[in-house]
A and B are shown apart, each in its own frame.
Chain A
Amino acid sequence: MKLINRYVAEVGRRLPLVKGRKDIENELRSTLEDMLEDRAQKSGRTADEAMEIELLTEYGAPQKVAETYDPTPYLVGPRMFPMFIMILKIVIAAVTFGMTIVTAIQVVTLSPMTGMELLKVIGEGLLNIVSASIAAFGNIALVFALIERFAPASEFKLDEDEKWDPISLMKEPEPEDIKAWEQILAIVFIFIVISIFNFNPQIIGINYMTGNEWKVIPILSEAFFRWLPLMNIAWVAEILLNGMLLRAGKWQISSRLFSIAIKVFQIVIGYFLLTGPSIITVTAESLKAIEGFDAEAAQILGTLAQQGARGVIALVMFLTAIDIIKSVVKMFRQKTSM
Chain B
Amino acid sequence: MTNSESLDNVVLELRRGVIVLAVLSQLSDEQYGYSLLKLLSDQGLEVDQGTLYPLLRRLETQGLLESVWKLEEARPRRYYVISAEGKKLLPKLKKEWAGIVSVMKKMLA
Contacts and interface: CB of A to CB of B under 8 A. Distances in A.
A221 interface: no
A30 B76 contact: yes
Nearest to A20: B57
Nearest to B73: A30
B57 A69 contact: yes
B50 A30 contact: no
A109 interface: no
A124 interface: no
Interface residues of A, number: 21
Contacts of A64: 50
B17 to A, nearest CB: 16
By secondary structure, the A interface counts as: helix
A26 interface: yes
A31 B33 contact: yes
Most buried by B among A24, A27, A37, A65: A27
Contact of A68 (B33, B51, B74): B51
B81 to A, nearest CB: 15
Contact of B34 (A24, A31, A60, A71): A31
Interface string A62-84: 00110011010000000000000
Interface residues of B, number: 17
A27 B34 CA distance: 10
Given A35-B34, A71-B58, A30 B53 contact: no
B78 interface: yes
A323 interface: no
B78 A30 contact: yes
B54 A69 contact: yes
B34 A68 contact: no
Contact of A34 (B34, B51, B53, B69): B34
Interface in A21-36: 23-24, 26-31, 33-35
Interface of A: 20, 23-24, 26-31, 33-35, 37-38, 59-60, 64-65, 68-69, 71
Given A38-B34, A65-B50, 15 more contacts: A24-B53, A26-B78, A29-B75, A30-B32, A30-B33, A30-B34, A30-B77, A31-B53, A33-B75, A34-B34, A34-B35, A34-B77, A35-B34, A68-B50, A68-B51
Interface of B: 32-35, 49-51, 53-54, 57-58, 69, 74-78
In the A-B complex, list the 6 residue pairs whose CB atoms are closest, starting with the nearest. Answer: A34-B34, A68-B50, A31-B34, A68-B54, A27-B78, A69-B54
